[in-house]
Amino acid sequence: MKKVAKFGGSSLASAQQFKKVGSIIEADPARRFVVPSAPGKRYGSDTKVTDLLYACYDRAAEGKDFTELFDKIKERYYEIINGLGIALSLEEEFTNIRDQFEAQAGRDYAASRGEYLNGIVMAAFLGFDFIDAAEVICFDENGEFDAEKTDRMLKARLEGVEHAVIPGFYGSKTDGSIKTFSRGGSDVTGSIVAKAIMADEYENWTDVSGFLVADPRIIKDSKVIETITYRELRELSYMGATVLHEEAIFPVRKEGIPIHILNTNAPEEPGTLIVESTCRVPKYTITGIAGKKGFASISIDKDMMNSEIGFGRKVLQVFEENQIAFEHMPSGIDTMTVFVHQDEFEQKEQKIISGIHRAVHPDYMELESDLALIAVVGRGMRATRGTAGRIFSALAHARINVKMIDQGSSELNVIIGVKNDDFEEAIKAIYDIFVTTQI
Ligand code: ASP
């Protein structure tokens, strides 16, 4: 059994957190490869080391004195090292990093040092090998991630290695310069390593006990999703639910390696298992609810629209020419409605309206703003009668006017449009009917 265990920034923010990680690694010999983030926040108003590094480097790049911020970063690591009581000096590393800052080695280089140094500390603490991600995570000359080369390099480097720490978030380009993934990218590194070693499981340790059925800012004490499929996760993440970096699912998904979201502060809790497919029956009919505010709709009416071949294409072409992506497009016999992001649309509104007039000569058009979209997602919906009925009666009881309904043919989700002001109440009503009352 082989596992990759990735730990997020809050799991590694202090010596105390490192000790929890140590116990977790010790508790399961399969946890042989560890991918750490940089130290995150110790408390709400604290600053992540990555943000300190960016700020520090920006001063260096402007030719300003950056000693104060640099010392703050050093302090964060020494607080951890001293708290762990390990004999490790990072002085040489810090001197080198300082020189590189002065030589303006780049923002990516600067940010990557958070994970790099944390990897060295973690390897010393656990007694594991340290493998610099710059050796094994490869980007091409344009800065695009090179999956194939990375896989080859990782496989070769990890051959015969029993235990190793590989820092997350960065790699190197063909010219040797450092390149990072986007923020939160250590999740991606963990997934890439898990694929390369064909891990049995990719554990992603964080500060929540898994993926929640609904946003905890709206539903206090929301239940945790026990098992979720990659497709369900995509639907929910797209609608704003975040725990994992969006790109982290691709490397492991292809190989059928499950991702297990776990809580460093409560390792005994089961967490959420993300899998390709499962015959485990979901606890509730729905798996999760997520949504976003800030949409606008453009409804277009024209008699006999249904017999006018190419009508939809012409309308969508106007959006394409104005570089506006559309979210949903429910239609009737002689009407179609296009949902777009309001902030993007507002800037080009008049151009798009005149474009549609010219393209399809509609009888009339109606715009509505301040709309929210809610996705009710669940693989269990397909086999359950009356799911849509329950959603809409719950919304009716809560006196919420439904503006739009869209059910994907996969029956994996139902998308509901409501006014922005009804957003929170709508989510509560749906959560209550499926989870709280569990009927
Ligand atoms: N430390 C980086 C960030 O704050 C990457 C990560 O934590 O995954 O975005």
pLDDT tens digit string along 242-284? Answer: 889 989 999 999 899 999 999 999 999 999 999 998 888 778 8
The whole-number pLDDT of residue 242 equals: 81
Q: Ligand 1 centroid to 118 CA: how many Å?
A: 12
The whole-number pLDDT of residue 383 equals: 79
Alpha-carbon dihedral of residues 213, 217, 220, 222, nearest 10 degrees?
10
384-393 own/partner pairs: CB under 8 Å, 24+ apart: 384/285, 387/285, 387/286, 387/414, 388/414, 390/285, 390/433, 390/434, 390/439, 391/416, 391/430, 391/433, 393/433
Query: Does the C-beta of 284 come closer than 6 Å to ligand 1?
Result: no
The atom number, within ligand 1, closest to the CA of 181 reads: 5
- Residue 73, burial from CB neighbour count under 10 angstroms (0-12, 13-18, 19+): buried
The whole-number pLDDT of residue 243 equals: 82
Query: Does the C-beta of 185 come closer than 6 Å to ligand 1?
Result: yes
pLDDT in tens, 150-160: 999 999 999 99
The atom number, within ligand 1, closest to the CA of 51 reads: 4
Answer for the pair 126, 165: CB distance below 8 angstroms, yes or no. yes
Do strands 201-206 and 364-377 pair parallel, antiparallel, or not at all (unpaired)? unpaired
Q: Ligand 1 centroid to 57 CA: how many Å?
A: 16
Cα distance from N-terminal residue to C-terminal residue, the chain? 39
Lowest pLDDT segment from 12-26, 89-103, 287-301, 402-416? 402-416
Query: Does the C-beta of 50 come closer than 6 Å to ligand 1?
Result: yes
Q: For 266-294, give one letter per residue: b (16+ CB within 10 A) or e.
A: ebeeebbbbbeeeeeebbbbbbbbbbbbb
From 48, 112, 117, the mutation candidate for ligand 1 (largest count of ligand atoms within 8 A of CB) is 48
Angstrom CA distances, 140 to 143, 146, 149, 314, 348, stand at: 5, 6, 9, 38, 36
Which residue type is seen at 91? E
Query: Does the C-beta of 182 come closer than 6 Å to ligand 1?
Result: no
The whole-number pLDDT of residue 157 equals: 97
Q: How many CA atoms lie within 13 A of 71 on its CB side?
A: 4
User: Average pLDDT in the 149-178 region?
Assistant: 97
Q: For the chain, what is the mean pLDDT?
A: 94
Identify the residue whose tokens are 């979210």: 327
pLDDT in tens, 120-131: 999 999 999 999
Q: How far apart are CA 189 and CA 286, in angstroms?
A: 31
Q: How far apart are CA 47 and CA 288, in angstroms?
A: 31
With cut-offs at 50, 70 and 90, classify the pLDDT of residue 382.
confident
pLDDT in tens, 330-379: 888 899 999 999 999 999 999 999 999 999 999 999 999 999 999 999 98
Q: Ligand 1 centroid to 413 CA: how many Å?
A: 31
The number of beta carbons lying within 10 Å of the beta carbon of residue 395 is 21
Q: For 161-193, give one letter per residue: b (16+ CB within 10 A) or e.
A: eeebbbbbbbbbbeeeebbbbeebbbbbbbbbb
pLDDT in tens, 62-100: 999 999 999 999 999 999 999 999 999 999 999 999 999
User: Average pLDDT in the 187-208 region?
Assistant: 97
pLDDT in tens, 353-366: 999 999 999 999 99
